[in-house]
Amino acid sequence: VKKYYLFILAFFILMQNTYASESQSYCFTGAFLADQPVKKDILEFRKDYGKKPYLVMIFLGWGDFPSERTIKDVYAEDCILFLTWEPWDAQRKAGIDFNALIQGKFDSYIGKLAAMLKEIDKPVLLRFGHEMNGDWYPWSGAKIGANLYIQAYRHVKEIFNKGKAANVKWVFSINWEDLPRDNRFILYYPGSDYVDYIGIDGYNWGNSKHWSKWQSFEQIFKARYEQAAIIDKPIIISEFSSSSSGGDKQAWIKEALNSIKNMKKIKAFVIFNQDKEADWKFSPGTRAALELKKQLRGNYYKDKNTFKNSSKAL
């Protein structure tokens, strides 16, 4: 009888292992370094944390274009550009006229940007109108409604289609939390023809604000990941970082990079590595920064695209 149970036990262990060794998983690195990142910033990131940021994020206001120098430097370092395209006047923080947009008033600007990105001839990630499931941006659903948002998004994407900018990959980028609660991200999803990746933004504010509390990466991202994973698209953590007030930032980043390994559909992350609303930066030399460097070691986190199929961005 004992032998019999040992056999069953061995069986289970075998099953376990088959699942564990399933597929070659990976996740690309990425960061927001500076408003106009150049070669120096990319190399500095590698010096501080051991790997390059494969995705280099920049923010773009309406009517603007990315700087030639940034484009040149990013691709010279074998990295790719991740454009956050904000439909507002970046100085005045005033939203554009979305009805005018779907009527075609901005078509020539959109077409010009499409042509410029197409010329890069390598993968470019683009997220238009991010965090729409919040209420802070003028393009958020709480301000313009989901219908108008989707129409605007689709209109912009269709102009890129016309310009045959197929190297541009579209990231539908949401906030980790729907605010207000009924403002659910799924209402804004423009459809599989318009999206290549789903992006999720989220931060641990610690106790840096009166409304915030310390939250682990998993507490922030897990439920949202489970929801987003239902849609048949790979996922990018399109912005994340932690404040250091109210907890242990070193432990936080360790847990974060381990959690990502358990969320297999996450194919890239972007660390927001600059102090802004809170101390998001992993300041070089701190314990948190050393931990980040330590966690990025190994094969799981890649800073270079080694896929043979070069049109595959991630």
Partner 1 sequence: MNKKLDLFAALAVLTIISIIVYVTARTILLFFVEYTLIESFFAVMLLLGEFFIILHTLGYVVNIARAGSGNKQVFSSGPTGLAEPSVAVLVAARHEPKEVLESTFITLYGLNYKNKTIYFLDDSSEDKYQKEAEELSKTYGLKLFRCRHRHGAKAGIINECLKTLNDKYVALFDADQNPLPDFLKVIIPLLEHDEKLGFIQTPQFYSNLDKGPIARGAAFQQAVFYEYICEGKSTGGSMFCCGTNVVFRRKALLDAGGLDESTVTEDFATSVKLHSRGWHSLYYNHVYAFGMGPESLTGYFKQQFRWALGTISVFKKMIWQLIRHPFSLSPAQWWEYFLSSSYYLIGVALLVMMLCPMVYLLFKVPSYFASPEIYFLVFLPYLILSMSVFYFLLRGRNYKIKDLFLGQLLGQITTTVYMHAALWALIGIRGKFAITEKTKAAAIPYIRLWPQILLIFFGFISVVWGLNRYIYEQEAAILVNSFWTLYNCLLLSSIFYFNREVK
For partner 1, the binding residues (CB under 8 A) are 1, 4, 8, 11-12, 14-15, 18-19, 145-147, 150, 182, 184, 186-187, 189-193, 222-224, 226-227, 230-232, 264
* In the complex, minimum distance from the CB of residue 156 to partner 1, in angstroms, rounded to a whole number: 16
The token pair at 152 is 């605007």
* In the complex, minimum distance from the CB of residue 221 to partner 1, in angstroms, rounded to a whole number: 11
* In the complex, minimum distance from the CB of residue 8 to partner 1, in angstroms, rounded to a whole number: 6
* In the complex, minimum distance from the CB of residue 18 to partner 1, in angstroms, rounded to a whole number: 5
Q: Which is nearer to partner 1, 26 or 75 (CB)?
A: 26
Q: Report in angstroms the alpha-carbon separations of 222 from 22, 202, 213, 226, 228.
A: 22, 11, 17, 6, 10
* In the complex, minimum distance from the CB of residue 211 to partner 1, in angstroms, rounded to a whole number: 17
Q: Give the distance from CA 264 to its chain's centroid.
A: 15
Residues 6+ apart with CB under 8 A from 78: 52, 304, 305
Q: Which is nearer to partner 1, 262 or 310 (CB)?
A: 262
Nearest CA to 256 among 246, 247, 269? Answer: 269
Give the three-class secondary structure for 252: helix
Exposed (0-12), middle (13-18) or buried (19+): which is 25, by Cβ within 10 Å? middle
Q: Which is nearer to partner 1, 254 or 264 (CB)?
A: 264
Handedness of CA 270, 34, 313, 87 (dihedral sign): positive
Q: For the chain, give the number of residues.
A: 314
* In the complex, minimum distance from the CB of residue 182 to partner 1, in angstroms, rounded to a whole number: 5
Report CA dihedral (252, 254, 257, 258) to the nearest 10 degrees: -110
Q: Which is nearer to partner 1, 66 or 134 (CB)?
A: 134
Q: Which is nearer to partner 1, 38 or 179 (CB)?
A: 179
Q: Which is nearer to partner 1, 20 or 108 (CB)?
A: 20
* In the complex, minimum distance from the CB of residue 180 to partner 1, in angstroms, rounded to a whole number: 10
Q: Which is nearer to partner 1, 173 or 250 (CB)?
A: 173
149 membership: H or E segment, kind and range = helix 146-162
In contact, 179 and 224? CB cutoff 8 Å: no
What distance, in Å, lies between the first and last C-alpha atoms of the chain?
Answer: 52
Report CA dihedral (309, 129, 71, 51) to the nearest 10 degrees: -70
Q: Which is nearer to partner 1, 139 or 189 (CB)?
A: 189
* In the complex, minimum distance from the CB of residue 88 to partner 1, in angstroms, rounded to a whole number: 23
